[in-house]
Amino acid sequence: MSLRSLFFGAAAAYVLLPGHPDAWLRGVPLGLWPLAALAIGAATWWCFREDDVTPPSLWRNGLVCLVLLAAVKAALAATAAPVGWLGAYYANAEFVGAPRQSTDFPGLAVTRIDRRLDFRDDYLPAYFLNEAGFNRGIRREVTDPLSVQWVGHVAPTRPVSLPLTLKTKGRAALAIDGRTRRQRSALPNSTSPKE
């Protein structure tokens, strides 16, 4: 295998390698821009494979840099704390049993990490409804019972007013520091406590 092929293989591995969620090339699952970068790299490797006049030392140095960058990317991804709300998704309305397991974060005892909480109807990311055990009917996202518990932490450096809005169809509760602040069960509800 040539140094050139090893360089492009290392570049593809760097793009695919899971990284920190805030990074531009955060790895699998790929977004639009990383997928485009991967496609452009593969096309470049294929189109110019016969016309290589680059000195071997340049390919070797680039390969070493990519391997080091990939190692740093993997280390940062492994040591960085997950950012977002830890979401435990249950396939019932009573928080019964274990939450559905995560495919993105298999080491966590939650279903997923939601970076933002702003969902409406079938925009709620309950992807486990696509599993074989839920193969029934259509629009399961809005017809099947579902419970979600989100846990997030805020550590401001100074006292601030933090507006939180709770809108729900069905039952919902908002607890701050383990103490329930708002609890609603009618349709629809909205409350904006400030702490």
| Ranges 34-38, 71-75, 98-102, 115-119: which has the least confidence | 115-119
Sign of CA dihedral 118, 122, 123, 126: positive
Q: How far apart are CA 121 and CA 124, in angstroms?
A: 6
Give the residue-averaged pLDDT of 10-18. Answer: 84
Pick the more confident residue, 72 or 130.
72
Q: Is residue 190's pLDDT more than 70?
A: no
Q: Is residue 195's pLDDT more than 60?
A: no
Would you state the pLDDT for residue 193?
43
Q: Is residue 178's pLDDT more than 50?
A: yes
Q: Is residue 55's pLDDT more than 70?
A: yes
Would you state the pLDDT for residue 103?
67
Would you state the pLDDT for residue 191?
45
What share of the chain in percent tops pLDDT 90? 1
User: Secondary structure of the chain in the HEC alphabet?
Assistant: CCHHHHHHHHHHHHHHCCCCCCCCCCCCCCCHHHHHHHHHHHHHHHHCCCCCCCCHHHHHHHHHHHHHHHHHHHHHHHHCCCCCEEEEEECCCCCCCCCCCCCCCCCCCCCEEECCCCCCHHHCCCHHHHCHHHCCCCCHHHHCCCEEEEECCCCCCCCCCCECCEEECCCEEEEECCEEEEEECCCCEEECCEC
| Ranges 14-18, 76-80, 138-142: which has the least confidence | 138-142
Kindly report, residue by residue over 72-109, the tens digit of the pLDDT: 888 888 887 767 888 888 888 888 888 888 766 667 77
Report the candidate in 147, 174, 170 with the shortest Cα–Cα distance to residue 162: 174
Average pLDDT, the chain: 77
CA-atom Rg of the chain in angstroms: 23
Residue with tokens 């821009």: 33
